[in-house]
Structure 1
């Protein structure tokens, strides 16, 4: 991923990635350039996925909830955000749970 970001001034930016780039060195790259990152964790990263699932989500208050009608169905999204210091991924300090 580093070569894709060459030549870009990332200081104080937020880089977002899909699950393909949920790798430790891919998270370290933006941090090394003064940026932050948001990445999606799914089952392709077994260890990290298990760590995030084991976080005490029941104790985290609901941060945001939306209810909408789209594509002929009702869609409800619930978001929870929490700070943690023990996630094993390139300086990760927060986790966001999205339930749809």
Structure 2
């Protein structure tokens, strides 16, 4: 969804920014009687689609600690990084922006108790939809929309 949005909307001028997504997945078939599924955290470019740097991990909790080592060797200047709520940690986002000179699109959920109320208080009804995707799968129809707005840095 975010990759499609980034591909269709260039908010930066004549050349679109490179985009890279960070996500973790449980490895199918890796669980045994006494061992839980192993997790893999990967950085994947949106176009062309490549995985420049996967990082293995044990349990899901290791995904957060693999964030910096995964991004460290990559040139992220002016790149847009996308990631889910698990990696939306203030210290990691600050590191991406200040030290790696990247931009980001992050999911914010209940794991960010200060940011979530601030985002909910924005005037979302007044912000136009920038991108919509509707699809069917898993016995249901889902529609997702993206709205973008600027907020003041603090």
TM-score, normalized by the shorter chain, greater than 0.5: yes
* TM-score normalised by structure 1 residue count: 0.71
Specify every segment of 5 or more residues in structure 1 that has no aligned partner in the other structure, as ranges.
89-100
Alignment partner of 2:93 out of 13, 24, 27: 27
Alignment partner of 1:48 out of 115, 128, 132: 115
How many corresponding residue pairs? 87
State the partner residue of 2:6.
none
1:16 equivalent to 2:87? Answer: no
Q: Which has the higher contact order (CA 8 A, sep 6+)?
A: 1
State the partner residue of 1:80.
147
Please tell me whether Structure 1 or Structure 2 has the larger radius of gyration of its CA atoms.
Answer: 2
* TM-score normalised by structure 2 residue count: 0.49
| C-alpha deviation, 1:55, in angstroms | 0.5
Question: Can you list the C-alpha shifts for 1:35-58, whole angstroms capped at 9, x where unaligned?
Answer: 112211000111100100110001
State the partner residue of 2:138.
71
State the partner residue of 1:94.
none
User: In 1, distance between residues paired with 2:139 and 2:77?
Assistant: 42
State the partner residue of 1:61.
128
- Greater per-residue strand proportion: 1
Question: Can you list the C-alpha shifts for 1:73-94, whole angstroms capped at 9, x where unaligned?
Answer: 22112221111215x5xxxxxx
User: In 1, distance between residues paired with 2:82 and 2:132?
Assistant: 22
Specify every segment of 5 or more residues in structure 2 that has no aligned partner in the other structure, as ranges.
1-66
